[in-house]
């Protein structure tokens, strides 16, 4: 048993935080709500910086290090929620898909550029219903002479508008495959960036494919069954869990700073129980959420038989706590909290995404119950 981080983990977290000085943090704030091209430029710039710090490698190598991964994710998620998701989808979903399931040629082509921070990736799975549990995929790849023709429509593709590569999940004759589709391929249509409640700096769009030619060396799979889809979803859930920790930290930090600095009736408002006690609940949720997230990560690393259930527990608890803490933080900030652009207001809007994306809170609870029922 050991509740402390290792020295390596501490060092890399400090390194990540050190990458972002006051100026760059300000420029990241501007990342929110700007146009797609600016977001792409900023992402490319930060990808290269993060690459040099070693941020992009975990998950792409053979080392199982979920605790260390969560630690660096937590650091970045607290600095910029949107940049965090953009980077994670690139490295830890698209990149990991190639690293884990791709052919050696695919890895040679993609992984080095990815690790150097020179490409943005996306993975397109969900279709109109978003529920991959109940509704089978409609997208399909049909064999032709020198590869496949892929057709289908994907609903919410994170990084869709800015990605260099999109891995598209689709049925094939003998199973399910991911087709690696390069930006600009004929028949690939990227929809308008969708306007959303939160994650202002994240770009999401529909992606449609109509007889989109994909050469045979660009297919991952086909696989029998949906094991790989499920694995990708666990990666996504893990990222969303880590993302919640970042939102909670941002909300707590800004509320705490305000409550200590803002005075009313000759004392800082933290001295009032209605503020101080709220902060106590927020801090309690933060510590509890963190411990649960790290224990779930550790269990996945250790191959514990309850690891999958714990991952769902962590996702539900952390993402729901993120909304609660953000809501409290906004309330403590009062009128200032309601103004656009402060971390609490952003986190309040962002948090909902985390409960919907990946395995939703509802489906997560069903899976937890299946686990305890032994079904």
Partner 1 sequence: MDFAFTEEQMMFKDQVIRFATREIVPRAQEHDLKGEFDFKSFRRLGEFGVLGLHFPEGLGGSDADVVTTTLAGEALGEAGVDGGLSLAYGAHTFLCADTIFAHGTDTQRGKYIPKLCSGELIGCMGLTEPGAGSDVASMTTHAQKREDGYVLNGNKMFITNGPIADVAVVYAKTEKDQKHTGISAFIVEKGTPGFSAGKNLNKMGVRSSHTSELIFDDCKIPKENLIGQERAGFLMAMQTVEWDRSALMAPFVGGMTYVLNKCVRYARERQQFGRPISQFQAIKHKLADIKIFIEAARSLVYRIAWSKDQGKPLNHLEAAVAKLFIGDWSLGPANDAVTLHGGYGYCHEYDVERAFRDGRLAPIGGGTSEIAKMIISKLI
The contact set with partner 1 (CB under 8 A) reads 1-6, 9, 67, 256, 270, 273, 276-277, 279-281, 283-284, 287-289, 291-292, 294-295, 298-299, 302, 309-310, 312-314, 316-317, 362, 364-366, 368-375
CA 110/CA 325 separation, integer angstroms: 39
Nearer residue to partner 1 within complex by CB, 214 or 318: 318
> Which residue, 218 or 318, is less far from partner 1 as judged by CB?
318
- The nearest distance, CB 125 to partner 1, in angstroms, is 24
Nearer to partner 1, 135 or 306 (CB): 306
Whichever of 339 and 369 has its CB closer to partner 1, that residue is: 369
**Please, which residue, 6 or 175, has the CB nearer to partner 1?**
6
Smallest separation, CB 295 to partner 1 (Å): 5
Q: Interior CA angle at 112 toward 211 and 6, to 5°? A: 125
Q: How far is the CB of 131 from partner 1 (least distance, A)?
A: 14
Residues 6+ apart with CB under 8 A from 312: 237, 359, 364, 365, 367, 368, 371
Least Å from the CB of residue 96 to partner 1: 21
Q: How far is the CB of 114 from partner 1 (least distance, A)?
A: 27
Which residues, 6+ apart, have CB-to-CB distance to 159 below 8 Å? 86, 89, 90, 94, 120, 121, 122, 203, 204
Query: Least distance (Å) from partner 1 to the CB of residue 267?
Result: 13
Contact at 8 Å (CB) between 207 and 191? yes
Q: Which is nearer to partner 1, 65 or 82 (CB)?
A: 65
Please give the torsion angle defined by the CA atoms of residues 164, 168, 173 and 175, in that order, rounded to the nearest 10 degrees: 120
By C-beta, is 186 or 267 nearer to partner 1?
Answer: 267
Between CA 277 and CA 291 the distance in angstroms is 21
Write down the least CB distance from residue 324 to partner 1, Å: 11
Tell me, what DSSP letter sits at residue 160? G
- Are residues 135 and 129 in contact, defined by beta-carbon separation less than 8 angstroms? yes
DSSP string, 52-103: HTTTT-TTTSS---HHHHHHHHHHHHHH-HHHHHHHHIIIIIIIHHHHHHS-
């Amino acid at each position: 048993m050991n509740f402390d981080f290792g020295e390596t983990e501490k060092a890399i977290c400090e390194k990540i935080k050190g990458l972002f000085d006051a100026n760059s943090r300000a420029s990241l704030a501007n990342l929110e709500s700007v146009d797609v091209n600016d977001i792409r430029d900023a992402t490319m710039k930060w990808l290269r910086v993060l690459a040099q710090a070693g941020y992009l490698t975990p998950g792409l190598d053979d080392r199982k290090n979920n605790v260390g991964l969560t630690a660096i994710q937590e650091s970045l998620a607290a600095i910029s929620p949107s940049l965090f998701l953009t980077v994670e989808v690139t490295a830890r979903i698209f990149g990991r898909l190639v690293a884990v399931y791709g052919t050696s040629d695919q890895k040679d082509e993609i992984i080095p550029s990815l690790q150097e921070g020179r490409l943005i990736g996306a993975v397109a799975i969900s279709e109109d219903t978003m529920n991959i549990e109940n509704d089978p995929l409609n997208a399909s790849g049909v064999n032709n002479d020198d590869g496949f023709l892929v057709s289908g429509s994907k609903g919410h593709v994170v990084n869709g508008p800015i990605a260099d590569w999109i891995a598209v999940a689709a049925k094939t004759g003998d199973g399910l495959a991911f087709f690696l589709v390069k930006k600009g391929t004929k028949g690939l249509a990227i929809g308008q960036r969708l306007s959303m409640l939160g994650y202002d700096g994240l770009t999401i769009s529909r992606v449609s494919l109509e007889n989109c030619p994909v050469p045979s060396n660009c297919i991952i799979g086909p696989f029998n069954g949906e094991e790989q889809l499920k694995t990708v979803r666990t990666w996504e859930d893990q990222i969303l869990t880590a993302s919640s920790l970042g939102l909670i930290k941002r909300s707590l930090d800004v509320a705490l700073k305000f409550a200590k600095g803002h005075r009313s009736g000759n004392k800082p408002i933290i001295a009032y129980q209605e503020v101080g006690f709220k902060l106590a609940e927020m801090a309690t949720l933060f510590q509890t959420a963190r411990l649960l997230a790290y224990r779930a990560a550790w269990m996945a690393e250790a191959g514990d038989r309850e690891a999958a259930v714990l991952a769902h527990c962590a996702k539900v608890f952390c993402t729901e706590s993120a909304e609660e803490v953000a809501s409290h933080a906004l309330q403590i900030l009062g009128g200032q909290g309601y103004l656009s652009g402060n971390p609490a207001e952003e986190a309040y809007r962002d948090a909902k995404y985390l409960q919907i994306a990946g395995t939703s809170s509802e489906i997560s609870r069903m899976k937890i119950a299946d686990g305890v029922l032994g079904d």
